[in-house]
Amino acid sequence: MKLLYEGKAKRVYEGSEPGRVRMEFKDSATAFNGQKRAEIAGKGVVNAAVTARIFQWLGGQGIETHFLEQIDDRTLDVERLTMIGLEVVVRNWVAGSLAQRTGLPEGTPIEVPVVEFYYKNDALGDPLLNDDHIRLLGVASPDLVARLRQQALRVNQLLVPFFRQRRLILVDFKLEFGWSPSGALKLGDEISPDTCRLWDEATRERLDKDRFRRDLGGVEEAYQEIYRRVMA
């Protein structure tokens, strides 16, 4: 099929029907705005399966997503969305850049989840934006920003217990949204160990992309462990 777009972790192809595209998940891993790169065996298979499982489950909880079906072990058939140029990050524990910006120790629980917006612009390094910046850039209206915040918090409210049942702490995660042809706001992209920080509930062991970012080793094993717990 015709390749429409190739990103750091996925290829997007024209779908078999109008209004559909196919997302193929790659084993490629990148960090620090593409400065660090590697291949992680089986990562694409894990991310495709985990995304399909979570999106199906969220759909059953009333969250509209672009997911339609899983085609093979690396490929999802999804609705073609007009994506909004913002990444929405929800944080339940202090980690990563939030620790760097605030000086708070990593692993500090956050009583009320923090929602952040990042500008989807590789050339600028996907910078953090506040509401005024978003308005200045014309990326989204104040009403849409409020809707994105509300929807992200709803997804968080659902996913925290979903992962807790699997003995995992959802530290933080990234969401992307877009408009369907019918004008509905839907959750798109993926939810996987690439886009979530997931720690073992008992040991606080990192079971996500941070193992690659921080050269902790055991990246393949961590992804496979997430696969086992989510798919069980």
Provide the CATH number for the domain around residue 56. 3.30.200.20
Instruction: Identify whether residues 91 and 74 lie together within a single domain.
Output: no
Instruction: Identify whether residues 74 and 90 lie together within a single domain.
Output: no
Contact 87, 118 (CB under 8 A): yes
Distance, CA of 53 to CA of 231 (rounded, Å) = 7
Contact 91, 100 (CB under 8 A): no
Please report the pLDDT score of residue 34 as a whole number. Answer: 65
Instruction: Identify whether residues 94 and 163 lie together within a single domain.
Output: yes
| Residue 209 placed within a domain | yes
| Residue 168 placed within a domain | yes
| Residue 212 placed within a domain | yes
Number of domains in the chain: 2
Side-chain-side CA neighbours of 207 within 13 Å: the count stands at: 27
Instruction: Identify whether residues 193 and 100 lie together within a single domain.
Output: yes
User: Which of the listed residues 45, 60, 79 is the one where a domain comes to its end?
Assistant: 79
**Whether pLDDT at 35 is above 80:** no
Lowest mean pLDDT among 11-20, 29-38, 127-136, 150-159: 29-38
Q: What DSSP element (H or E) covers 192?
A: none
Instruction: Identify whether residues 147 and 41 lie together within a single domain.
Output: no
Specify the DSSP class assigned to residue 65.
Answer: B
Lowest mean pLDDT among 14-23, 29-38, 90-99, 200-209: 29-38
Q: What is the mean pLDDT of residues 207-216?
A: 94
| Residue 223 placed within a domain | no
User: Which of the listed residues 52, 79, 106 is the one where a domain comes to its end?
Assistant: 79
- Domain holding 156, by residue range, is 84-217
Specify the DSSP class assigned to residue 17.
Answer: S
**What's this model's pTM, rounded to 2 decimal places?**
0.95
Instruction: Identify whether residues 40 and 148 lie together within a single domain.
Output: no
User: Which of the listed residues 27, 60, 79 is the one where a domain comes to its end?
Assistant: 79
| Residue 231 placed within a domain | no
Instruction: Identify whether residues 101 and 212 lie together within a single domain.
Output: yes
Q: What is the mean pLDDT of residues 209-231?
A: 96
